[in-house]
Structures are given as structure tokens and as C-alpha cells.
Amino acid sequence: MTDTLVIVESPAKAKTIAKYLGSKYKVIASNGHVRDLPKSQLGVDVENGFEPKYITLRGRGEVLEKIKKEAKQAKKVLLATDPDREGEAISWHLANALKIDPNMNCRVVFNEITKSVLQASIKTARPIDIKLVDAQQARRVLDRLVGYKISPLLWAKVRKGLSAGRVQSVATRIICDREQEINDFIPDEYWTITAFLHVPNARKPIEAKFYGYNGHKTDVKNEQEAMLVIEKSKEEPFVLSDLKKNEKTRHAPAPFTTSSMLQEASRKLGLTPKMTMSLAQQLYEGVEIGSKGSVALITYIRTDSVRVSSEAQGMALDFIKDTYGDKYVPAKPNIYKGRSNAQDAHEAIRPTNLLLAPAMVKEHLKSGLYRLYKLIYDRFLASQMASALYETTQLTFTAGECTYRASGIRTIFDGYTKLYVESNDDEEEKEGLLPELEIGRRLNAKEIKPVQHFTQPPSRYTEASLVKTLEEKGIGRPSTYSPTISTIIDRGYVCREKKQLIPTELGFVVTQLMKDNFSSIVDVKFTADMEEKLDEVEEGNKEWRSIIGDFYGPFEHSVEEAFKNVEHVKIADEVSDVQCDKCGAMMVYKIGKFGKFLACPNYPTCKNTKRIVDKIGVKCPQCGAEIIKLHTKKGRAFYGCERHPDCDFVSWQKPVGENCPKCGKYMVQKLGKNGSYKQCSDTQGCGFVMRPAGKQKNNDEE
């Protein structure tokens, strides 16, 4: 007989928790949901209060039977699934299956998996929060109604295999609208004029940019105006007429929320949201750290709060003082204000133990886990450090009636940037010193250089910027950002090219159909308002069935009208220049789960398909054929020979078509802190490095 059975969601989490709780507890995993709506039918009784029809998920029957068996042998059962709506719903379903009264103190929640927190959580077990369950049910039913009512319309009118959804359809629309902005954009011409001013004994000239005439801002719109500025400036001495120095404070960035973690991991580490969430989940649930066993390295990962517990903050401040010194500790602890609609149930994402520094655990972690852990660790520690202080200088020069300005910035105190530089900081002004000059100093221009520019259209969304936009507009929640992006890519509505998200023709067609027939579904404000209503259910201020009822009547009418009025849409496939080697037809481009591929247009008579060969212009070092870029099923890029399987050459790094001058093996391109460089493919035996500047070093830059 077991004293207490603890049920969690994942085996990894179960292993970590079991280590802390001792022999009186048995910890098992449900492997996520055990019950859900059936896939084969709507599963919602729209005639009777939208009652969900839950079934045991296929393949989970054995898991559920094992849990029931263990529960019968336990004196007490505690449900310790994740501390969010989804986790609360899983506990509610488990309680139902195990015939546990949800009003008993059977629910255990914790933000981090550490011994002290676990023990405290078990002592404060509570009933299942039915308000959280209702909020999850409302979302689940709402999404099921939208998906299962509109998807058949898309199948009938556009193409089989398509889907629609509350959040995914809005996300697709946002990307399509941005692409339309880009297509409609008309560039405007403008010019910049830079004077290179010679200063005796200075290492380089001052670069002063034309500001305007007689101190008034003037835009230079064409070449004629640019030449006029140069004509008025070229014979004049550049006299320093004004000098301004100021101090600028840059505050440390807040600790990570789910959204900011996804954005920064994309920008700094090149990780997709899906990859980031997968790695973060492992770090939260526990990873093997040598003799320490399974250790949870970070706190709960689905949060939009920037709050940090006073205990964690105190430990961070002590750590900063001991490691970096008193001056890196802020005069008052840093407090961050979250977004107005942020849920504050959980802390920000942070390391569970600052003594487990990234360098200490590096040997036990795979590369991706280490890099993400270091990012989270450094970000949290930096968020508790003192601000950085800079001195800014602005020089104003007068050349006749022309005004030029030059700016510089100098670090007075590095503060948090000693440890961490945010991506946005990287994009701000680069540090540059200006020579000390006195008012009235006269300088001569070595060169006055005009450069033509054109205004640029708005940038396409990347996964990082889309996550930021979804968060800002209140669309979705931390748990939905990653799956939403994965879905719209998998459905072929959007494709990812060099980090950019580009809508396909299919994406445009489906979005237009949704705009014409389900305007509210793809309306940003409507979707954001619905998220707020779901939050109100969680807070106990709204009844979930009434929200669904208010939505469903007009929605059902729209579906009926769309089936009557929408005509079949034919999307022509893009024809390639590749001939089908089975029937001779010109193959067409199709989009599948793993991206574009070639298919015979005579399907189903001819079912021939081919992968798209992405040649990199480098010969195979083994056989001399072309090297091509390939992708694993998980989307990771690698390089192989086009003659595979006859030639087994493969490389995770991109070959550059050069041989190592030291050992003769092929060189590959790698990415370091200061950009790309070349390295011998034999990193262990040789490791020869060739940097762009020609400075060579026989060790790995990374």
C-alpha cells in the first residue's frame, strides 16, 4: 500500500519529483491528457448547453488503467499536473476517472520543481479550481466549433486537408495583410550627405551628417537637392557651433516571459518557437546532471508575468554582490511592470538554482539545452543588476548656411551589460568616441559624400516578431504562440524562408474566404476580446456556456450561408522546369508538412514525387558531385551528396569548397560571436580556423 500517489503529466517530471519526495510517495505520469473530445465527430452537444462529450483518448486506455490500479493501492492521491488552465483540466479529468471528489484537497501546484517548493506545495494542497477548468473547457469547445464547422467548408470549396481556427486564422491574416502592405508600398527617394571631417592626431575623421539649413531640419529628397547642399558646403570651414553632453541610463531588461523567451531565442540562438518550447520543457521537467540525478533547472515556462518572488530576488542580489561586486547591485531591487492584460499566476521564467551556473552543467547538457539555459540564466541575473550608464555627445557644425551633426556614445558604467546584451540593445547606436573639441573649432572636410536611399516597405514577419505582435494584440496566450505558428506552416498557409514568414497563394485564398464569410473570426479585436472573456471565466466573472451561446448563433448562420454562396476556388499549381521521369509531364510545386516538394500533375494516375534539390555550389569532397542542402524530419538543416545513397557524404555544417591548409580535409562554415568563419571539418583532430581578417587560430571559436 502506497501512502501517497502523485500524478504528474510527463515521465521526466515524475522522475525529478520522485527524487525529492522520498519512499512514502509514488510518482507516475499521465502523459498529458487522458480524456478529450473525439476526433471523429464534433463532440459538442450544441442543443443542450454545449455539453462536451469526452472520451478516453486512443492509446491512453492502458495508461489510465495503470493509474486506476495505482490509485486503488494508495491511501491518498494528489494531482500535480501543470499550474495552468490545461493542467487544471487534466487534473479534473483524472479526478473524474478516479472518482475523486474535486472539492477535496487533491490538487497540488508548483512553479518550480525543487525540494522546498514541492514539500510546501503538498502541505497546501487545494480543491480543483473549477473556474480554471471552465476557462479551459470554453476555449476547447470554442476552438472545436470553429475548427469542425469551417474546415469542412474549406475542404469542399478549396482543398482537402485544410483547417481553420480562432487563433491560427487571425495569425495567417496578420501575415497576409503585411504582405499586401509590402506589395502596395511605393518607395520615396531621399538622400543622406556625410562630411568626413579631419581632426589632427585623431585615428579617424568625424562623420557629420547634414541636418538642415541654419539649424532647421531639412529633408533632401533628390539628387539635385543633394548637389545643392554639397555646393553650399564644400568651400566652407566646418565650425563647431554647439556641443551637448548628456548621461543616458539603460535599465536592465525584465526576466523572460514565454513571449520574450521565444523572441530572444529566435534572434540570438536561431531557434524556432517549437524548438524553444521543447527545450524549455525539458529544462523545466528535469535533466540528468551527473551525480545530482534529474534536476529541474528552470521554473514554469508558460507565463506572461515578469514578477519574481522576493526569495529568488534576494538570492540573485546576494549572488550579484558576491560575483560582480557592490556596484552591480541596484540601489533598490528592480521591479518590472507587466502588460495590462498579463496573467500573474506564475513568476517569470528563471533558473531554480543560481549555483548551477551554465558552465557547471554544460558537460551534462546537449548543445541546444545548454544554449537556452544560459540565455535564461543570464537574462534573469542581468534583470536584477544595476542599470548601464552612458555619456552621449552631440556635435553641431556650421558650414556656411548648412548644419551638420555628429553623435557619439561612451560607456561610463557597464552595469547589466557586463553579463547580457539584449537583441534590441544590439540594434541601437554602436559605441563610438568623438574627439574632445572646443566651441569655435574649425575643421576641414576631407570628403562630402552623398548617398541615395529609398524608403523601405515594412518588414515581413519572422517567428519572433509574429509572437511579439500576437502578444501585443492580445491574441492567444503563452501556451498557444508556438503551436499556432507550427499549424499555419504545416497547413501550407505560410512558408518560412530565411526566418521570414511568407504567405502562400493558399494562405491568401483561405484568408480572403474567411474575411468575406467569417469576418469576426479573423478580426484581431474580436479575437482579443474573446481572450479577455475567457480570462473573465477564469476569474469567475462570466459563465462559460453563455459566452459560447452568444458566439454560436451568428456563427452557425454564417457557416450555413457560406456553404450556399461560396464558389469552388481553383488554385493553380506553380509549374516547375523539372520533367516527371515516369510520365513526362512537367512537375508542379506542392507544399507538404516538411515544406515544398515536386509532384506529378497527373496524380492519382501518376504518383511520382521528388524533393527539391537545393544545390550550394560546392563539390562533394568524396566523389566530386554536387552538395545539396537537406532537412531532417524535425526541420534541422544538413548537407549531403546528390548521389546519395551511392555516396554517403554528410555534414551538419555547410562545406565551403576549400580544403584545410593544415590537414587537407574539407573546410566548413561556422558561426561565432563575431560572425561567420571557416574551420576544418576535423574539429577534434585538427580544428584549424580561418577568420575573415586572415587571423588564424587552431581552436574552436565557439
Distance CA 667, CA 656 (A): 6
Q: Residue 84: which residues within 8 A CB-CB, separation 6 or more?
A: 132, 300, 302, 345, 346, 479
Which helix (H) or strand (E) covers residue 262, if one does? helix 258-264
If you count them, how many residues does the chain have? 702
Q: What three-state secondary structure class fits 525? A: helix
Could you tell me which of 625, 543, 485 has the C-alpha nearest to residue 171?
Answer: 485
Number of other CB atoms surrounding residue 588 within 10 Å: 17
Backbone φ, ψ for residue 49 (5° rounding): 65, 25
Could you tell me which of 248, 180, 233 has the C-alpha nearest to residue 408?
Answer: 248
Q: What three-state secondary structure class fits 167? A: helix
Q: How far is CA 124 from the centre of its chain?
A: 35
Cα torsion 523, 527, 533, 534 to 10°: value is 160
User: In terms of C-beta density within 10 A (0-12 exposed, 13-18 middle, 19 or more buried), how is residue 166 classed?
Assistant: buried
Backbone φ, ψ for residue 79 (5° rounding): -100, 110
Distance CA 510, CA 558 (A): 16
Could you tell me which of 374, 377, 303, 378 has the C-alpha nearest to residue 338?
Answer: 303
Where do we find the cell 495567417? 172
Distances (CA, A) of 672 to 264, 507, 656, 657, 691: 17, 36, 16, 20, 10
25 as an active site residue: the answer is no
Q: Residue 350: which residues within 8 A CB-CB, separation 6 or more?
A: 255, 256, 298, 299, 308, 312, 376, 380
Q: What three-state secondary structure class fits 343? A: coil
Eight-state DSSP code of residue 364: G
What is the pairing mode between strands 696-697 and 689-690?
antiparallel
User: In terms of C-beta density within 10 A (0-12 exposed, 13-18 middle, 19 or more buried), how is residue 624 classed?
Assistant: exposed
Q: Residue 221: which residues within 8 A CB-CB, separation 6 or more?
A: 188, 189, 190, 191
C-alpha cell at position 426: 544590439
Distance CA 326, CA 415 (A): 11
> Count H helices, E strands: the chain?
18, 31
- The catalytic position among 25, 300, 461, 677 is 300
Q: Position 332: which residue type?
A: K
C-alpha cell at position 455: 524608403
C-alpha cell at position 177: 495583410
Q: Are 159 and 520 in contact (CB under 8 A)?
A: no
Can you spell out the DSSP letters for 621-648?
TTTSSEEEEEE-TT--EEEEETTTTTS-
Task: For residue 250, list its beta bridge partners.
Answer: 388
Give the active site residues.
Answer: 300
